[in-house]
């Protein structure tokens, strides 16, 4: 497990080699093993492959087009649109994309009371733990992954296409790596830890 933590990288180039159903199921099972707030297990997973992936990418591209030339929902993030287009290209090459939702979520447009917000934050942390478990399980099987939040540039379009309950949290692209990236820089311990006793 420790070597999966240390060796995992975000993979942005994938081989055209399918992932077996058994491996995919194993990865998602690891996601389901994550801890969750009050054991609510708010996660749901939508596995996208084949022609469904093409339809999903069209929805994603429509969203980016709207964000660029229509009504932008994230106007202050314009400088990240080029990166989002690159993310779409990566997803197009990945054999599998898994969307992960918070089935108990009210959605990013909902106005929440303080209590509802805390509930939402706890559920999103639980879903994130599940995603990280999947990334590590994939790494252990030699399968690469990319955690994707550029989906927020096409949030409405993707939610409409996915037709899912709750709140979409992230997508994860999976595939056998066609690159071997070096470790990306990390802040030092001294920058992020304060010891108190
Ligand atoms: C919440 C989250 C969202 C991310 N969204 C994207 C994304 O949309 N596109 C992308 O290329 N990478 C995305 N990444 C990958 C990060 O860029 C990557 O984790 C970071 O640069 C560190 O690199 P490493 O994963 O190889 O250690 C995301 C990662 C996280 C945790």
pLDDT category at 21 given cuts 50, 70, 90 is very high
pLDDT at residue 31 above 90? yes
Domain with 92 in it: 2-175
Residue 166 lies inside a defined structural domain of this protein: yes
End-to-end CA distance of the chain: give it in Å, rounded. Answer: 30
> Inter-axis angle of helices 50-69 and 155-162, to 10 degrees?
150
Residue 165: predicted pLDDT? 84
Report how far residue 51's alpha carbon sits from residue 59's, in angstroms, rounded to the nearest whole number. Answer: 13
Query: Is the CB of residue 147 below 6 angstroms from any atom belonging to ligand 1?
Result: yes
Please compute, for residue 150, the number of CA atoms within 13 A of its CA located in the half-sphere on the CB side.
24
- The number of domains in the chain is 1
pLDDT at residue 34 above 90? yes
Nearest CA to ligand 1 atom 30: 147
Nearest CA to ligand 1 atom 25: 10
Residue 49 lies inside a defined structural domain of this protein: yes
Residue 130 lies inside a defined structural domain of this protein: yes
pLDDT tens, 107-138?
A: 899 999 999 999 999 999 999 999 999 999 99
Average pLDDT, the chain: 97
CA of 163 to the centre of ligand 1 (A): 25
Residue 71 lies inside a defined structural domain of this protein: yes
Residue 180 lies inside a defined structural domain of this protein: no
In 10-113, alpha helices (H): 21-32, 50-69, 81-93
Q: What is the mean pLDDT of residues 164-191?
A: 97
């Amino acid at each position: 497990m420790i070597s999966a933590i240390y060796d995992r990288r975000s993979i942005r180039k994938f081989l055209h080699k399918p992932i077996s159903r058994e491996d995919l199921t194993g990865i998602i099972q690891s996601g389901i093993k994550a801890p969750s707030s009050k054991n609510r297990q708010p996660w749901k997973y939508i596995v996208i492959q084949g022609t469904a992936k093409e339809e999903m990418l069209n929805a994603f591209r429509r969203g980016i087009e709207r964000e660029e030339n229509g009504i932008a929902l994230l106007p202050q993030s314009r400088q990240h649109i080029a990166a989002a287009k690159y993310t779409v290209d990566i997803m197009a090459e990945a054999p599998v994309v898994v969307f992960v939702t918070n089935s108990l979520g009210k959605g990013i447009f909902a106005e929440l009371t303080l209590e509802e917000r805390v509930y939402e934050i706890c559920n999103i942390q639980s879903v994130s733990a599940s995603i990280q478990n999947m990334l590590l399980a994939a790494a252990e099987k030699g399968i690469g992954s990319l955690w994707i939040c550029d989906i927020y540039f096409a949030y409405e379009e993707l939610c409409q296409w996915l037709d899912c309950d709750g709140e979409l949290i992230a997508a994860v692209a999976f595939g056998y790596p066609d690159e071997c990236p070096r470790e990306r820089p990390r802040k030092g311990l001294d920058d992020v830890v304060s010891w108190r006793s």
